[in-house]
Chains A and B, each alone.
Chain A
Amino acid sequence: MPMQSNSPLPRANLAGWLYVSPLVLVLVPFFVAPILVVLAASVFTTDGFGGLTPGFTLSNYAEVLSSGLTLKLYLATIKFTVLTWMFTLLIGFFVAYFLVFHVRNPLLAIGLFLICTVPFWTSNIIRMISWIPLLGKEGLINDALLATGVIRQPLDVLLFSDLAVVIAYVHQLTIFMIVPIFNSMARIDKRVIEAAVDAGASRFEIMRHIVVPMSKSGIALGSIFVVSIVMGDFFVVKVMSGGGSASVVSAFYEDVGVLQYPTAAASAVLLTLVLMGVVALILRTVDIRREITR
């Protein structure tokens, strides 16, 4: 039953813009303008003390692109992103799958779901440093391994290493996979699965032909969150690698620290472009807006 006209009338346009105008009024000065400022800074020159001289030069980009460090930083960032994405997707998918399809009591399922989501609302920094007593040289894991005789020397690789970085990421970001995948799985009509079982489909076939395709929007949404957060992060890399590793943004942070604004800005612009490209690629597979409003 058609409820409203599909062709946008002038009046509907005005009302629509009126409702979203506060949003636009925040996002223009605090998202669009800062991005433009960074873009401008990337083509300015600097006096080396934080002062920016308006002008137009591509030397900042040339510097960033010609530096061997850039490639290394991007490779490190991509490594962290891919590893984190893989682990969060695997854990997130199966946790959501367990909650939706294996927990019979719906109230219990929602309770368990909330248990998974509560840490999302607590401080990321605290959750990250909380790995120190576990992974440290005298931490619980090393103690346990020593006590059982598996190792003789405490493992250094646990804390302040790439492993620790990935652990911290997965710890923080799996929730971003669970929530959207849980939502899209919860919308799958259980009778569709029953029908597939009746038709003789195996567990694997059901997973491949029903559950995965129907959770696609949740996987896409979760991937956008995880990828954009890992690629934009500097804090976890800095703390959990103990300064041993760097990512694009952590190098950016160091640049800003020494007031190298133009090269930092050029590197940031490049990163933002890469990130937008990845997000656009994911968005091509699914219409997020329609999925959410459905």
Chain B
Amino acid sequence: MSTAVVEAPETIEPAVSKAIAPSRGQRPWTFYVLAGLFTLYVLALYGPMICIYILSFQDIRGGLVFPMKGHSLHWFVDLFTQARTGDVKGSFDRSIKLALIVTVITVVVSFLAGLGFRRRFVGDNAVFTMMIGSLVAPGLVLGLGTGLLFQALGLNAAWYTSALGAQLSWTLPFGVLVMFAVMSRFNHAWEEAAYDLGASRWQTIRLVMIPVLAPGLVAVALFGFTLSYDEFARSLQTAGSLNTLPLEIWSMTLNVTSPSLYALGTVTTIVSFVVIAVGLGTIVLIQKRRGGGSAHG
């Protein structure tokens, strides 16, 4: 009996400090260690990027490293006016157009595939395996294959044909995987309720599924746009004679050693951030309007 009394405080104490994440009270020491790790990670993630954004605002004396030499918009002007930095404006236009086309196709095809994969059908695993294969295959090899294929068929490689297809082989598997996650939260009863109330299949898709899944579809669009806009390895052998923006950046990294490169990085990142903000903002807005999301998911 006496040992039990003596030991009691000892058996209680570890339980308090051992708790993984107590909802209240003192935080365990691991919290501070992991919080430190997290902070370092975020610093390493954003730190270098922020450095080049800052360095892109130097004046004409600017170099590739700190310290800052003055501040101006010189390198941005240089970027869009100087011929030696290549056709930045043209490639920028092409990349945006291509990304928009890829986005639309990715959303539609991923949505349909997401619908199809909800039920088992003969050969579904073959399609799924093909998709995963397309995701993990080395992009440069696929790009070369596509380029050679076009060559063999006597077709001209161009950003809106071969590069479009090569990019889709990369964005579609991502889109379908995101769609899988989105669909898993779709309540089958909504579809049945629509059928019960007399909706046709098309009406069910148009009036129920697309609006309910809208946040997920926006997420797929976000993936489609940004993955296409930044795609490089698969476009390299397929874009034909006119460059997309990442290809332009690639050739600049090899030739240009001025802050123009950083200025281009700043510009393209701004575009990315605008797209991300629009995408995430739309999702948040939809969720908010529905009063905190689907209560019956």
Contacts and interface: CB of A to CB of B under 8 A. Distances in A.
Direct contact of A and B (CB under 8 A): yes
Interface of A: 3-4, 6, 8, 12-13, 15-20, 22-24, 26-27, 29-38, 41, 52, 91, 94-95, 97-99, 101-102, 104, 112, 114-116, 118-127, 129-134, 136, 138-140, 143, 171, 174, 183, 190, 193-194, 197-198, 200-203, 206, 224, 228, 231-235, 239, 249, 252-253, 256, 261, 264-265, 268, 271-272, 275-276, 279, 283, 288-289, 292-294
Interface stretch (B77-85, B112-120, B208-216): B112-120
Nearest to B166: A30
B116 A20 contact: yes
A27 B172 contact: yes
Contacts of A264: 144
Given A13-B121, A37-B149, A102-B21, A23 B172 contact: yes
B18 A271 contact: no
A252 B233 CA distance: 12
A121 B226 contact: yes
B138 A231 contact: yes
Contact of A126 (B66, B144, B249): B249
B215 to A, nearest CB: 13
Interface in B158-173: 165-166, 168-169, 172
A115 to B, nearest CB: 6
B38 A271 contact: no
Nearest to B135: A228
Contacts of B136: 224, 228, 232, 275-276, 279
- What 7 A-B pairs have minimum CB-CB distances, sorted nearest first? A34-B145, A19-B116, A16-B121, A232-B138, A228-B136, A130-B48, A30-B165
Contacts of A36: 145
Given A30-B146, A133-B55, 17 more contacts: A16-B119, A22-B108, A22-B113, A31-B142, A32-B130, A33-B149, A95-B34, A95-B38, A102-B35, A122-B230, A123-B246, A123-B272, A126-B265, A183-B181, A206-B20, A249-B141, A288-B132
B20 A101 contact: yes
A35 B112 CA distance: 25
Given A121-B272, A140-B51, A264-B144, A19 B265 contact: no
B195 interface: no
Interface of B: 14-15, 18-21, 23, 27-28, 30-31, 34-35, 37-38, 41-42, 44-49, 51-52, 55, 64-66, 105, 108-110, 112-113, 115-117, 119-125, 127-128, 130-146, 148-149, 152, 165-166, 168-169, 172, 176-177, 180-181, 183-184, 188, 222, 226, 229-230, 232-233, 237, 246, 249-250, 253, 261, 264-265, 268-269, 272-273, 275-276, 280
A124 B42 contact: no
A231 B233 CA distance: 13
Contact of A124 (B120, B149, B230): B230
A41 B148 contact: yes
Given A232-B140, A294-B184, A20 B45 contact: no
B261 to A, nearest CB: 7
18 contacts: A19-B116, A20-B113, A120-B226, A127-B49, A130-B51, A136-B64, A140-B65, A140-B66, A174-B41, A174-B45, A197-B19, A203-B20, A232-B140, A249-B140, A252-B140, A253-B140, A268-B141, A275-B136
B113 A125 contact: no
Contacts of B275: 121
Given A27-B169, A123-B249, A116 B137 contact: no
Contacts of A136: 64-65
A34 B149 contact: yes
A4 B138 contact: no
B109 A22 contact: yes
Decide if the interface of chain A is mainly helix, strand, loop or mixed: helix
A35 B142 contact: yes
A17 B169 contact: no
B141 A101 contact: no
Given A22-B108, A234-B140, A15 B116 contact: yes
A36 to B, nearest CB: 8
A256 B65 contact: no
B99 to A, nearest CB: 12
Max chain A CB contacts within 10 Å: which of B140, B152, B232, B275? B140
Contacts of A203: 18, 20, 28, 30
B38 A112 contact: yes
B51 A26 contact: no
Given A38-B148, A272-B138, A31 B130 contact: yes
Contact of B49 (A119, A197, A276): A119
Contacts of A99: 38
Nearest to B165: A30
A271 B139 CA distance: 12
Given A33-B149, A121-B222, A133-B66, A252 B34 contact: no
Nearest to B254: A239
A126 B52 contact: yes
Max chain A CB contacts within 10 Å: which of B42, B48, B141, B229? B141
